[in-house]
Amino acid sequence: MLVKDVMNSPVLTVDVAVTLEAAYHLMLQRNIRHIPVTQEGRLVGMITDRDIRLATSPFATGGAQPTDTPVGQVMAQPVITGDPLDPVEEAARVMRQRKIGALPILEGEALVGIVTGIDLLDALLRLTGVEKPSGRLEVCLDDRPGELARLSGELAQQHINIHSLLTYPSGEGTVITVVRVDTLDARKIARSLRQKGFEVQWPPEIPGKSL
């Protein structure tokens, strides 16, 4: 999944000359927290509701700024941006690393979209397949060639379709594989996989009960 698949477009922007008050009211009207700032059609900064609240607060360094202050005097710059063809996980990495809540997307010098933390959560839901009726399995595998194929092959033998599959490291030499499958009876599959020697962590095995 690429940034272009999840970004919001077209993008609402404000000019550098717009006042803090006007920008804040616009955020309230549109239920947004981040607005790219432009000058002569070119992206030059970002302004957030938090920036405006801090700038107009009596606790601000140097005192509160008037609400008619242009956003150009408060905006964050230079702007951290992304590309429409970036993978969504790269956008998430940049946003987490830089501790920002939104990422403007440029194609050349043209502002073509914006990605927020909510957009990345939506992408996670799509990538994990939770929007479809499905069962969830977590299987601990050795981190070596062939293990993932062994698991998917076993599921294929049982005529079980995989909706999504994700892995993440778990300790030394192992990975947790999270699988969404096209059946709600995940316990039955878990029992079968355990019988085949797989270490299934979810759904948990219930002592004294048949899965």
Check whether 211 has a pLDDT greater than 70: no
Locate 159 and state its tokens.
Answer: 């005529």
Residue 210 confidence (pLDDT) above 60: no
Task: For residue 166, give the CATH number of its domain.
Answer: 3.30.2130.10
SS3 state of residue 102: strand
The answer to whether residue 62 scores a pLDDT higher than 50 is: yes
pLDDT band at 208 (very low <50, low <70, confident <90, very high): low
CB 124 within 8 A of CB 56: no
Q: Is 81:46 a contact under the CB 8 Å cutoff?
A: no
Residue 98 lies in a domain: yes
Residue 92 sits in a domain whose CATH number is 3.10.580.10
Calculate mean pLDDT across residues 146-168: 96
Same domain, 84 and 51: yes
Q: Which domain holds residue 156?
A: 131-202
- The whole-number pLDDT of residue 94 equals 98
**pLDDT for residue 59 is more than 60:** yes
Q: Are residues 92 and 20 in the same domain?
A: yes
pLDDT of residue 209: 57
Judged against a pLDDT cut of 90, whether residue 154 lies above it is answered with yes
Report the chain's mean pLDDT, rounded to a whole number. 95
Q: Are 35 and 23 in contact (CB under 8 A)?
A: yes
Q: Do 29 and 104 share a structural domain?
A: yes
Give CA angle at 72 (71, 74), nearest 5°. 65
Peptide bond into 78 cis (omega under 30): yes
Global pTM?
A: 0.86
In whole angstroms, what is the distance from residue 138 CA to residue 203 CA? 7
From 125, 148, 177, give the residue that closes a domain: 125
- Report the candidate in 48, 21, 52, 53 with the shortest Cα–Cα distance to residue 36: 48
Q: What percent of the chain has pLDDT over 90?
A: 91
Picking from 186, 152, 182, the residue whose alpha carbon sits closest to that of residue 167 is 152
% pLDDT > 70, the chain: 98
Confidence label for 89 from pLDDT (cuts 50, 70 and 90) = very high
Cβ–Cβ < 8 Å for 76, 51: yes
CA atoms of 102 and 79, how far apart (whole Å) = 11
3-state secondary structure of 210: coil
pLDDT at 206: 79
Q: Has residue 209 been placed in a domain?
A: no
Residues 104-134 have pLDDT tens digits of 999 999 999 999 999 999 999 999 988 889 9
